Structure 1
Amino acid sequence: MARTKRAGRRSGNPDTRAEILAAARRLFAEEGIESVSMRRIAAEAGVDPSLIHHYFGSKDDLFLAAIELPMDPAPEVAAVLAGGEVEGAGGRLMHAFVAIWDGPHQDKLLAVVRSSLSKPAMAFVLRQLFERRILKSIEETLGDRVDHIPTRAGFVASQVFGLVVARYILKLEPLASLGAADLAETIGPNIDRYLTMPIEHLVDGR
């Protein structure tokens, strides 16, 4: 006698992980990571919520997997900013920047950035990554030493993301050829300024 397939949520199978990722990508791109619950993603994928925890752990881990980011930048940022005074943090960030972007994950990282430049939904997802992982890391590390961190972090992001495009996508010289020490000396002071300059007039809108 043929067995009748039961309707309802699926248990784990070789396609389950891919289906969860596809559902997460759609919902993160449409509504944002903060607005979407793990249960909602499970319902979209037609799986039990426990399978998301089984395959991915936390929602942050699922988010990183969904956008195919090969590494989490938050621990690197926290380690660099916690490793000394605020003054000089820019140089430390540049050294870490080169270590990450010139490392084995460069192709995958560039794929994420290129997608964000051509696809509005992906740009929204990348912004969520910055706000949820990097900005949160900066706040937790420098929150007791630096004011108006969200505003300052936005300026830092403009420097770093602009550098990614100029150095790795457009390959503009001399940026494309500079080593970590030269980048730290040249661009580090700009980041230090963003972290320390008075910005009350910007925050207050005056």
Structure 2
Amino acid sequence: MANARSTTRKTSRRAGKATMATAALAALATVGVAGAQHNSSSSQQVASASKISVGAAATIAPKDAPKQQVALAADVHKQAAPAQDAAQPVVPPMAPAPAPAPAPAPAPEAPQYADNLDGWIRHSLDILGAHGIPASYDGIYRNIIRESSGDTQAINLYDINAMNGIPSKGLLQVIDPTFNAYHVDGTSWNIWDPVANITAACNYAAARYGSMDNVYSAY
């Protein structure tokens, strides 16, 4: 009886140990399965992440990405160029240089007159014309020949004027008071000067007779 109980206890202990071993194995198996599932899940997540990264990379950098980047850079440059141009100050065009003023016309050369009776008459006629005093070459020449024969130093010491102390002088035999009263600007104040003598005499004749052309005798 005692041996039978002892045997029963031993058997129970063995069974308990076997059960515990089985439970431990089961637990290990469960842990192993869970670990395997965890590792599998992690691998799947890594694989998924890799796929996402590859997909994103494929989206961001397709085969023609370099061409698109070049085109994009060109567009940016085109858009930036107007902005740069607008930022630069606008320089107004330079006005053309004024044309140089034309050189003043040279003054007309003064006429040259011969130092003889013809030259004196012509010179006097130009002065008379500038002052609006009528006279002609023929009228002046005719009266000079009659009064002095063309001698610039002719003087009358015998007529009434000489008796009164104011003898007639020069080409047209002019007395001093008449010369001074009818002197014409632009001529000499010397009564013996041929041009001054002719011009003063013609001015007097124009005032007294209308013109030297109307004088045919002593005046």
Please tell me the TM-score bracket, short chain as reference.
under 0.3
Higher percent of residues as helix = 1
Q: Which has the higher contact order (CA 8 A, sep 6+)?
A: 1
Radius of gyration: which is bigger? 2
Normalised to the residue count of structure 2, the TM-score between the two structures is: 0.19
